[in-house]
Chain A
Amino acid sequence: MEKVTTFTSRLAPLAIDNIDTDQIIPARFLKTISKVGLGDQLFCDWRYDAEGKPKADFILNKPEGRAANVLLAGDNFGCGSSREHAPWALTQYGFKAVISTSFADIFKGNSAKNSLLTIVVPANAHKALFAVLANDPAATVTVDLAQQKLTLPDGSTVTFPVDEFAKQCMLNGVDELGYILQQDDAINAYEAKRPLSVNTAVAA
């Protein structure tokens, strides 16, 4: 897992609500058994035409979109399927953060496990960011995870919520599994007193 450090970046605006994970990475690319090679398929059906050529009017095909490490998206980003291929595709393309007014639960959890920040900002700041970018596509934001602070193009800042445990994992570049495996004694103790259990071998 990558360590997250403070960074400054331009933004790729995508003013659509409820962008689902089928748009982020269509299901036909989920037949892979690997995590890599998904960046080229990010937003595939919005990004390429029927012949596979980039559509000029899609943000990731414009110079300002290509230069951005932050995606600015509409409300409820990442809804739908639980596929972790969505944050894999976003990070492999080069995104380090997505800014929205809200995120779907599973997507948010999956993103944190891949050092992709899901930054929730208030509706007015969200609206203002789209407006700034309409006038100045080169505007930048600075993302400081340690301080949970987003510095906007006008120099003002907003704080954003992050689960404390996920934050420490991302700042230190360590994943959750190491911590979970250290809880072996507690897991053994729990298993010793489970009142009911199934046996999947019975159904096999």
Chain B
Amino acid sequence: MQQQSNGANGTPRTIIEKVWDNHVVAERPGTPTLLYIDLHLVHEVTSPQAFSGLRERGLKVRRPDLTIGTTDHSIPTHDRSLPIVDKIAEAQITQFEKNCRDFGIPFYGPHSKKQGIVHVIGPEQGLTQPGMTVVCGDSHTATHGAFGALAFGIGTSQVEHVLASQCLLQGHSKTYEVRVEGALRPGVGAKDIILNLISRIGIGGGTGCVFEYTGSAIRALSMEERMTICNMSIEGGARAGLVAPDDTTYQYLAGRPAAPKGADWERALGLWRKLPTDAGATYDKTIHIDANSLEPMITFGTNPGMGIGITAPVPDPASISDPVERDTLGKALRYMDLPAGKSLLGHPVNVVFIGSCTNSRISDLRAAAAVFKGRKVSPNVRVMVVPGSQLVKQQAQAEGLDRIFKEAGADWREAGCSMCIAMNGDQLAPGEYSVSTSNRNFEGRQGKGGRTFLASPLTAAATAVTGVVTDVRTLL
């Protein structure tokens, strides 16, 4: 396979097209492209029925060496030496471990020192690399796009397809450039960039597209910040979103367990450096964001597109002409029990959740700890800090961050998806408000009847210490 800079006929290509072209196994008229998958991540919730399908058909896993499993979604985040109280969740985890063993797939069970959220462990181990195709039965798979990989979520039928064949039938996507230029101001970060994008294009704005994030503000971000942005591509409707690799990417990868070593590293670097979008390549769509003008973002409604600058007022349904759109906003504000026309600053919250595949990496915990240091959690607020993996947890403890959280009065947990998806016992009670660093504020997402404001780790930590929605810039 050649990784030419330009296409076969010399046409300049985007990185999205290059990665796609490099993975075409077969193309037939009237049939979607058969695409090779370099890395398949599996977890306990969306894979059991796929393994059952393999057993029914008498099939094996074609490439267990390109597949890795972890337990994250339904696993409790309390002390791992305690039994799992929810017997249905326990049965699912037990079945997952059996499936991985039976089919020869390496996996991280509940007691592994490397267990963690599927989108945290791939990068952490150096499994996620530039130019790859990465899939997982999870819509936040775009996280891995931060490395210049084409990474997207799939359903359980497709999990079975990839297990059996290492391939997927895929239709072409459109290319959508998200160009972010300028410098972020203090208190504003990667989460605010992505929440701003989604608030502008809406949660269906990127449907049928793959985002490429470009521009000086993206180049200035660390790998973990790029992961936060790519992670929420699906919240803008795009199945995938990526950032072309650069020296930041290579520095992050070098020396990680599964990264190439020695001569292989040099050869890989040669191939990776050909991936960035060619000069003169065009996109189907483009949007520009001015990083200089961004302020911390927060959501007020029941989808991630319902976001505003933290000092801005909640929009008024009466100002919307389309009846279904007006009803949708009205329904959201009734669910959230919020008045229109007023900012959220000062709104009391019951819970602060710092975690999830969006914001649970070491830099997120450091940012939150910087706000907590020397302060106490408001007595009215329950604060959960859930590291993205056991290795992140270990690192945080080596830096003393756990002590800062505990001394402030926050709960320091074991790794997992936790209250982002609320299927492991970590959840809001009906009517409770949270500020969460996770990715979805859908009705009931964090527990039936719960109400979620999505924001950055800085905003979440600031809110935790005051007990009300707070502009972190007032505490810096």
Q: Which residues of A contact B (CB under 8 A)?
A: 15-18, 20, 22-23, 26-28, 30-35, 45, 50, 74-76, 79-84, 87, 102-106, 109-110, 113-114, 163-165, 175-177, 179-181, 183, 186-187, 190-191, 193-204
Contact = CB atoms under 8 A, between A and B. Distances in A.
The 4 closest A-B CB pairs, nearest first, are A204-B106, A76-B204, A110-B155, A33-B48
Contacts of B456: none
A162 to B, nearest CB: 12
27 contacts: A16-B331, A20-B442, A22-B444, A22-B445, A27-B422, A28-B448, A31-B92, A34-B52, A80-B442, A82-B139, A83-B46, A84-B46, A102-B204, A106-B139, A106-B155, A109-B158, A176-B169, A177-B161, A180-B164, A180-B168, A183-B34, A187-B25, A197-B66, A200-B65, A200-B127, A203-B127, A203-B257
A181 B46 contact: no
Q: Is the interface of A mostly helix, strand, loop or mixed?
A: loop
Nearest to B24: A190
A195 B1 contact: yes
A191 B74 CA distance: 35
A15 B157 CA distance: 29
Interface string B119-134: 0010001110101100
Interface in B402-438: 421-423, 430
B166 interface: yes
Nearest to A114: B157
Given A33-B48, A45-B443, A203-B257, A82 B423 contact: no
Given A106-B139, A183-B25, A200-B127, A163 B32 contact: yes
Given A18-B303, A33-B91, A198 B258 contact: yes
B68 A200 contact: yes
B165 A45 contact: no
Contacts of B132: 198
B423 A34 contact: no
A177 B91 contact: no
Interface in B145-182: 153-158, 160-161, 164-169, 171
Contact of B448 (A45, A76, A110, A165): A45
Contacts of A186: 25-26, 34
B303 A20 contact: yes
B355 interface: no
Given A197-B66, A199-B65, A200-B106, 8 more contacts: A16-B327, A27-B422, A80-B442, A84-B155, A179-B31, A196-B267, A201-B65, A203-B68
Contacts of A196: 38, 129, 131, 260, 267-268, 271
Nearest to B138: A82
Given A45-B443, A196-B129, A109 B208 contact: no
A113 B155 contact: yes
Interface residues of B, number: 93
A177 B164 contact: yes
A93 to B, nearest CB: 18
B209 to A, nearest CB: 9
A114 B153 CA distance: 17
Interface of B: 1, 3, 25-26, 30-32, 34, 36, 38-39, 45-46, 48-49, 52-53, 57, 59, 62, 64-68, 73-74, 86, 88-89, 91-92, 95, 105-108, 114, 121, 125-127, 129, 131-132, 137-139, 153-158, 160-161, 164-169, 171, 203-204, 207-208, 234, 237, 239, 257-258, 260, 267-268, 271, 303, 305, 324-325, 327-328, 331, 421-423, 430, 440, 442-445, 448
B45 A79 contact: no
Contacts of B258: 198-200, 202-203
B448 A26 contact: yes
A177 B155 CA distance: 13
Contacts of A201: 65, 106
Contact of B155 (A23, A103, A109, A180): A109
A87 B46 CA distance: 13
Contacts of A113: 155, 157-158
Contacts of B155: 82-84, 87, 106, 109-110, 113
Q: Which among A27, A79, A114 has the greatest number of chain B C-beta atoms within 10 A?
A: A27
Nearest to B112: A204
A181 B25 CA distance: 12
A26 to B, nearest CB: 6
Contacts of A106: 139, 153-155, 234, 239
Contact of B88 (A17, A31, A163): A31
Contact of A198 (B66, B86, B108, B137): B66
A136 B144 CA distance: 49
A178 B168 CA distance: 12
A198 B30 contact: no
Contact of A26 (B57, B73, B444): B444
A198 B423 contact: no
